[in-house]
């Protein structure tokens, strides 16, 4: 698979820096920022436009800001290329619905890395041991938003229109809950905003996956850690959880938590997870459809939940 990348911000650079040692041939790279292009010069051929990336590639990863996702995604699919689209699908939910309908049957997927996470795979192995799931709890917290490593993209990540932690972080856990428990629906939700322009600083929501209640909390400024999160499944015979993206844990009889002996912090886990995403994208480009990557339909379901929660 010859991979092209449109957008060399945080996510584009991350996948690129995994793809090169992973052995994925890089067909072309493009970003409208000359600084971004210069920073990553030497990691792959530079293109003069998004169209040049698409023409040179078998599969295209679109990691540009959300407002341009559909434009680049449509162009890639119309050219017969496989597509890995960064989430959310678009900055406009109605446009996202139209895109998903148009792209039906085409080789497209969305980059929710938990689809290839070894820690998530471990949770699935443990799931039968806790019996029927009775509750799911999701909690995220941040020292500040955007996080320090996201400051270069603060021009849109900090704003209510396209940014915020619900779209950028909570969406991953909604995807995971949907994969584990089935379709989610909102019971009630309330987001808190510092002003009309800036992104949310708090979120409280109750959802359901069938008969299973799902609680969700998110806050900015309530922790001294840059980023912390928990995804907990409470079952009839015990509880399991995913902590800080990559640590799978089981609850002991004494109430404490025992991590998977193979668990490693997220910076070490990320290359493994993204390598799995690349392997699945190669299968998608080769004509396989059931690769395990997040589908457009799954991403749309997540986006609809996120936007509904932000709207209250």
Is residue 284 one of the residues assigned to a domain? no
Digit-by-digit pLDDT tens for the chain (312 residues) are: 999 999 999 999 999 999 999 999 999 999 999 999 999 999 999 999 999 999 999 999 999 999 999 999 999 999 999 999 999 999 899 999 999 999 999 999 999 999 999 999 999 999 999 999 999 999 999 999 999 999 988 999 999 999 999 999 999 999 999 999 999 999 999 999 999 999 999 999 999 999 999 999 999 999 999 999 999 999 999 999 999 999 999 999 999 999 999 999 999 999 999 999 999 999 999 999 999 999 999 999 999 999 999 998
Which of 106, 132, 165 is a domain's end point?
A: 106
In what helix (H) or strand (E) does residue 311 lie, and over which residues does it extend?
none
Is residue 287 one of the residues assigned to a domain? no
Query: Does residue 150 share a domain with residue 80?
Result: no
The per-residue pLDDT for 18 is 98
Question: How far apart, in whole angstroms, are the C-alpha atoms of residue 169 and residue 283?
Answer: 27
Query: Does residue 158 share a domain with residue 192?
Result: yes
Diameter of the chain by CA atoms?
60
Which of 55, 83, 106 is a domain's end point?
A: 106
Is residue 276 one of the residues assigned to a domain? no
The 3-state DSSP class for residue 287 equals: coil
The per-residue pLDDT for 77 is 98
The 3-state DSSP class for residue 296 equals: helix
Selection from 187, 162, 171, 165 nearest residue 92 by Cα: 162
Which CATH number covers residue 92? 3.40.50.720
Query: Does residue 193 share a domain with residue 45?
Result: no
The answer to whether residues 8 and 40 touch, using CB atoms and an 8 Å cutoff, is yes
Query: Does residue 222 share a domain with residue 92?
Result: no
From residue 285, how far is each of 74, 104, 115, 273 by CA, in Å? 16, 16, 17, 19
Which CATH number covers residue 233? 3.30.360.10
Query: Does residue 40 share a domain with residue 179?
Result: no
Tell me how many domains the chain contains. 2
Which of 62, 85, 106 is a domain's end point?
A: 106
Question: How far apart, in whole angstroms, are the C-alpha atoms of residue 101 and residue 106?
Answer: 10
Is residue 212 one of the residues assigned to a domain? yes
Selection from 29, 26, 24 nearest residue 5 by Cα: 29
Is residue 291 one of the residues assigned to a domain? no
Which domain covers residue 30, as residue numbers? 3-106
Query: Does residue 158 share a domain with residue 86?
Result: no
The per-residue pLDDT for 12 is 97
Query: Does residue 306 share a domain with residue 158?
Result: yes
Read out DSSP for 50-106? HHHHHHH-SEEEE-S-GGGHHHHHHHHHHTT-EEEEPSSS-SSHHHHHHHHHHTTTS
Query: Does residue 174 share a domain with residue 306?
Result: yes
Query: Does residue 216 share a domain with residue 102?
Result: no
Is residue 278 one of the residues assigned to a domain? no
Query: Does residue 305 share a domain with residue 187?
Result: yes
Is residue 171 one of the residues assigned to a domain? yes
Query: Does residue 144 share a domain with residue 29?
Result: no
Is residue 42 one of the residues assigned to a domain? yes
Query: Does residue 123 share a domain with residue 57?
Result: no
């Amino acid at each position: 698979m010859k991979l092209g990348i449109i957008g060399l911000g945080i996510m584009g650079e991350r996948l690129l820096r995994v793809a090169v040692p992973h052995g994925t041939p890089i067909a072309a790279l493009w970003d409208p920022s000359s600084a971004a292009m210069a920073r990553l010069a030497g990691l792959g051929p530079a293109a003069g436009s998004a169209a040049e990336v698409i023409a040179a590639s078998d599969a295209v990863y679109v990691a540009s800001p959300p407002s341009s996702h559909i434009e680049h995604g449509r162009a890639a699919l119309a050219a017969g290329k496989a597509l890995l689209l960064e989430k959310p699908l678009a900055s406009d939910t109605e446009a996202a619905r139209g895109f998903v309908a148009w792209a039906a049957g085409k080789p497209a997927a969305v980059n929710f890395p938990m689809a290839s996470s070894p820690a998530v795979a471990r949770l699935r192995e443990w799931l039968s041991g806790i019996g029927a799931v009775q509750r799911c709890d999701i909690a995220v917290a941040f020292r500040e938003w955007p996080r320090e490593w996201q400051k270069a993209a603060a021009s849109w990540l900090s704003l209510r229109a396209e940014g915020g932690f619900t779209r950028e972080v909570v969406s991953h856990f909604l995807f995971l809950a949907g994969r584990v428990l089935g379709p989610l629906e909102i019971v009630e939700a309330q987001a808190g905003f510092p002003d009309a322009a800036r992104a949310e600083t708090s979120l409280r929501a109750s959802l359901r996956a069938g008969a299973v209640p799902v609680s969700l909390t998110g806050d900015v400024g309530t922790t001294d850690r840059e980023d912390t999160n928990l995804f907990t499944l409470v079952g009839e015979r015990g509880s399991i959880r995913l902590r800080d993206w990559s640590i799978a844990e089981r609850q002991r009889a004494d109430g404490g938590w025992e991590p998977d002996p193979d668990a490693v912090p997220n910076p070490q886990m990320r290359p493994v997870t993204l390598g799995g995403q690349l392997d699945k994208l190669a299968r998608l480009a080769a004509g396989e459809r059931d690769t395990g990557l997040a589908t457009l339909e799954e991403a749309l379901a997540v986006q609809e939940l996120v936007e509904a929660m932000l709207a209250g």
